[in-house]
Structure 1
Amino acid sequence: MARMKNALREHWIADIDETDTSKKPVEDEMLELAKWVTEITDDTDETNEEYGDYAGDGTPKTEIVSIAEKWTFAGTYDASDPAQALVASKKRKIGDDRKVWHLIKQTDGKKYLGLATLSEIKAGTGEATSYEEFGCVINYDQIPEEVETTP
């Protein structure tokens, strides 16, 4: 596969159904978090343990025991953008009120969906002479599942 531009990877969000948090969103009703977003960084945390056993030659091996996949978004705030407005609406919320569904459409066509928590929400900040800044972190609550792609 040829190299692909980062802008071709899509990030979509949807609010949770408060009556049934396990109810997955309809993809057509999700909001793309893209307008005025200039940087998206994969800030996944991995926890590992090193071990050595007698089945090898004594060289330590590394085992990944957990991951917390999270994505950091940065750009310019636009209150009229539906995806940014959803994120901004969660700024003064706590607990389950910070939950959203997060769908990633990778450049290779694979899609990953999972329940996630919003944190570090910035919806209007910065220097007086600059445009308002937007930012947030979307942290999956567990490893997202691969979902079917539409041909």
Structure 2
Amino acid sequence: MARIKNALREHWIADVDADDVTKKPVEDEMLELAKWITEITDDTDETSEEYGDYAGDGTPKTEIVSIAEKWTANGTYDAQDPAQALVASKKRKVGDDRKVWHLIKQTDGKKYLGLATLSEIKAGTGEATEFEEFSCVINYDQIPEEVEATP
């Protein structure tokens, strides 16, 4: 199997419908989080429990009991980029006003969509001699669902 560059994995976001947060976005209305983004890392948290039972030999087994999938995006801030502007618009918001839809198009062709919460938003920060920095964490509210195409 060939190695594939990370840049070929796509991350798209869309604002939620204020009247119906469960309404999925139309894919062509989503905004790609890509321009000036130099790194997107998978920072998923897993909670596990160890157990042993009499069906085994006493060796502890690990069971994953919860997953909190989250992705951290870092790069240079561009207020004119629609995806970055959407993230920046949520910086001073709380609660449901921080919600977005997050679509991941993986390099193997699979797509995952879910409601997510933005946190740790930085849209214009850094040293005086550097370009403004951009970063945010996109936390899925639950395990995203695999989709063929968004409605």
What TM bracket, shorter-length normalisation?
Answer: over 0.9
What is the deviation of 1:149? 4.7
Structure 2: tracts of 5 or more residues without a match:
none
- The alignment's TM-score, normalised by the length of structure 1, stands at 0.98
Q: Deviations over 1:104-124 (max 9, x none)?
A: 000000000000000000000
Partner of 1:71: 71
Q: Tell me, yes or no, if the aligned pair for 1:98 and 1:118 is still in contact at 8 Å.
A: yes
Which letter does structure 2 place at the counterpart of 1:122? K
Q: Tell me, yes or no, if the aligned pair for 1:109 and 1:149 is still in contact at 8 Å.
A: no
Which letter does structure 2 place at the counterpart of 1:35? K
2: CA distance, partners of 1:53 / 1:59: 8
2: CA distance, partners of 1:51 / 1:3: 37
What is the deviation of 1:2? 1.3
Aligned residues: 150
2: CA distance, partners of 1:2 / 1:148: 24
- The alignment's TM-score, normalised by the length of structure 2, stands at 0.98
Partner of 1:148: 148
Q: Flag as ranges the 4+ runs of structure 1 deviating above 2 A.
A: none
Aligned pairs for 1:21-100 (under 5 A) are: 21-100=21-100
SS in 1 for 2:11: strand
Q: Tell me, yes or no, if the aligned pair for 2:116 and 2:140 is still in contact at 8 Å.
A: yes
What is the CA RMSD across the aligned residues, in angstroms?
0.9
Structure 1: tracts of 5 or more residues without a match:
none
